[in-house]
């Protein structure tokens, strides 16, 4: 019998899992939790996904795609007045935090490094694609930048670092100070 997959059910599942992952992490959610949240049976879950890993894979793709899309949208809206401050502000202050996905971000990374190479490679691929798009924004915001690629890379590191800070609820020095420091990199020097 050929399977006819109902897209709506799949999306329902993903949305529910996303919420659960963001709350309690990948390892802590059981398929029972997911089924209950979706108001479907565990059997149905297995009709749409062949394993728990399968679900997580889809979540990762969705997560990075959404981060990217929301970023691109923002850049598009502000392309006229893209000052370094505003650019860095959206990256830092609103970056992973804006989308309220810091926790999921870290949880997913953790899942990737537990041994699932396919998952990890997919995440890296998507992450790298985003970095390339970040470069475009960097060039727009910092006219005099010398090495936009390295700068974009640095921003990605900082985003990951901030995600960790966010989930760890560490002492944050404040956006203004952070922006002030990083801004210098893109500015002309003597």
Stretch touching DNA by CB under 7 A, among 33-41, 82-90, 147-155, 156-164: 33-41
Measure CA of the first residue to CA of the last residue in the chain; give whole Å: 71
- Residue selected from 103, 118, 137, 141 as contacting a second copy according to rule CB under 8 A: 103
Q: Is 178 in the site for a second copy (CB under 8 A)?
A: yes
Among 67, 64, 66, 158, which residue's Cα sits nearest to residue 120?
A: 64
Give, as ranges, the residues between 46 and 105 that touch DNA (CB under 7 A): 46-48, 50-53
Measured distance CA(49)–CA(55) in Å, rounded: 6
CB of 25 to DNA, least distance (A): 11
As given in the structure block, the two tokens for residue 138 are 């960097």
User: Using N-to-C axis directions, what is the helix angle for 148-168 and 117-141, rounded to 10°?
Assistant: 120
Among 110, 118, 86, 117, which residue's Cα sits nearest to residue 160?
A: 110
Cβ atoms of residues 164 and 106 within 8 Å: yes
Q: Is 15 in the site for DNA (CB under 7 A)?
A: no
**Which positions touch a second copy (CB under 8 A)?**
1, 24-25, 27-28, 39, 103, 106-107, 109-110, 112-115, 120, 123-124, 127-128, 147, 149-151, 153-154, 156-162, 164-165, 167-171, 173, 177-178, 180-182, 184-185, 187-190
- Residues making contact with DNA (CB under 7 A): 1-6, 9, 28-33, 40-48, 50-53
């Amino acid at each position: 019998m050929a399977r006819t997959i109902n897209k709506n059910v799949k999306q329902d599942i993903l949305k529910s899992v996303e919420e659960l992952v963001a709350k309690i992490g990948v390892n802590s959610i059981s398929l029972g939790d997911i089924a209950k949240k979706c108001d479907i049976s565990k059997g149905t879950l297995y009709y749409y996904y062949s394993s728990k890993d399968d679900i997580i894979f889809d979540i990762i793709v969705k997560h990075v795609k959404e981060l990217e899309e929301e970023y691109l949208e923002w850049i598009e809206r502000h392309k006229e007045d893209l000052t370094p401050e505003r650019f860095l502000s959206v990256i830092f202050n609103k970056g992973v935090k804006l989308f309220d996905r810091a926790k999921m971000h870290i949880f997913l990374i953790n899942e990737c490094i537990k041994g699932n190479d396919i998952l990890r490679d997919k995440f890296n691929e998507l992450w790298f694609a985003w970095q390339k798009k970040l470069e475009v924004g960097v060039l727009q915001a910092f006219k005099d930048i010398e090495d936009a690629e390295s700068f974009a890379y640095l921003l990605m590191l900082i985003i990951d670092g901030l995600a960790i800070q966010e989930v760890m609820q560490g002492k944050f020095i404040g956006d203004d100070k952070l922006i002030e420091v990083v801004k210098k990199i893109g500015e002309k020097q003597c």
